Each structure stands twice: as structure tokens, then as C-alpha cells.
Structure 1
Amino acid sequence: MGKLVRDRIPDIIRLGGEEPTVSVLGADAYREALQDKLAEEAGELAEATGAEVAEELADLLEVLRAIADVHGHSWHDVERVAAEKRARRGAFTERFYLH
């Protein structure tokens, strides 16, 4: 079973003396792989502690940027929509939990 990896990972593996087996995904497979990667990174974030949290957030952010891109949205667009939604509906700073 394979997984989506960052662009430089095959080169890093080669620098370690191994030859990775890689393929380039088509559009539909790429979208599916991004969804799988999103779940993977979210799970890793849930388990992270201390300094690991920033590392996992960075990984999650990179996946989110890629998802935005494949759907035709710039990250600037996403930030603008988030700000509009925050203004309309709020953020999560109050820690409200609805029962």
C-alpha cells in the first residue's frame, strides 16, 4: 500500500541510498489521495504533543493548500472566506460546547 508524499521525498530517499518506486497520480486519484492524507495528518495531529503539534499542523496545512488548489481555490481565497465566516459565525475562542 502506498501513500501520497511530499515532492522532495523521493529525492531524500535516493540520497539515503535507496531507489523509491513512485508514480504520478491522475486527477481523480490525486484528489482521493489528498483526502486520505488529510485523514492521516489529522490523526497524527490528534496524537501529537509539545513541539510535535506545530510539525503536524504544518503538514495538515500543506495538505489543505493542495486540496484548495485542486479545487481551483487560492489559499488567499480560503483565508478570505474563513475571515468572512468568522465575522458571521464566530471562531472557537469561547470554547462553547453545544449539547
Structure 2
Amino acid sequence: MSVEREAVVHRKLVRDRIPEIVEAAGRVPATRVLTVAELVPALLAKLHEEATELGLAEPEERLEELADVHEVLSALTTAYGFTEEDVTRAAREKKAARGGFSERVWLEEVR
């Protein structure tokens, strides 16, 4: 006699190996492949999710959460048709023109 497990609904983009990991845990994942049109909105939602998790992370969890944000940004870079070099160059140019964040400047107001 099998025990019917309750479904946990996720409806979100996950890493490629998650279905395999779920199956190894004895669960049955229901998946589909996103269309090209669905990919960018799903990646943007994932970026928000991962950024939130980073903001809530304990110090010992931060590197892993930063890696998750990095992976999503890498996928967005590809989805938008850019390369990592394109992004690095644009970041370098923007930093040269507007600065970075190393000086910790907080703009309180402008009159």
C-alpha cells in the first residue's frame, strides 16, 4: 500500500539538477522547460528571490548566497545576448564614470 504524499507547489525556476536531486530523495518532480519568452521573467523573479535570501543570510551562508546571485546574473547575461566580458567591460566603464561603492557614500538628500 503506497502512501500518497501531498504536493508542494513551487512554480519557479530551479537549477538544472534539482529534479534529479528531488528524485534521489524519493519524491516525484513535475517539471517543464520554459519557453524563450518565459525565461527572462523567470530569471528576474529568481534574482529577486536570491537577493532576498542573501539579505537574510547569516554570515556563514553569504558566500553560497552570493554564488546563487552570480549564477542567476550569468544566466541573465546569456539570455540577454551578452557575454561575461561585455558585462565586465560595461561595469568597468560605469565605475570609471560614476565610481563604485568602496567609499560607502550614502546620499541623504539633494537641495
TM-score after normalising by structure 1? 0.94
Give the alignment's Cα RMSD to 1 decimal: 1.0
One of 72, 79, 82 as aligned partner of 2:81: 72
- CA deviation after TM superposition for structure 1 residue 14, in Å: 1.2
Q: Determine the structure 1 residue equivalent to 2:71.
A: 62
Do structure 1's residue 95 and structure 2's residue 89 form an aligned pair? Answer: no
Unaligned runs of 5+ in 1: none
1:36 to 2:42 alignment: no
C-alpha deviation, 1:16, in angstroms? 1.3
Letter in 2 for 1:54: L
Match of 2:15 among 6, 15, 30: 6
**Runs of 4 or more consecutive aligned structure 1 residues displaced over 2 Å after TM superposition:** none
Computing the radius of gyration from Cα coordinates, the structure with the larger value is: 2
CA distance in 2, matches of 1:22, 1:49: 31
Residue matched to 2:24: 15
Distance apart, 1:6 and its partner CA: 0.3
Q: Give the 3-state SS of the residue equivalent to 1:45 in structure 2.
A: helix
String of CA shifts for 1:47-96, please: whole Å, max 9, x gaps: 01212111111000100011111100011211111111111211101011
* % identical aligned pairs: 47
The runs of 5 or more residues in structure 2 that have no matched partner are: 1-9
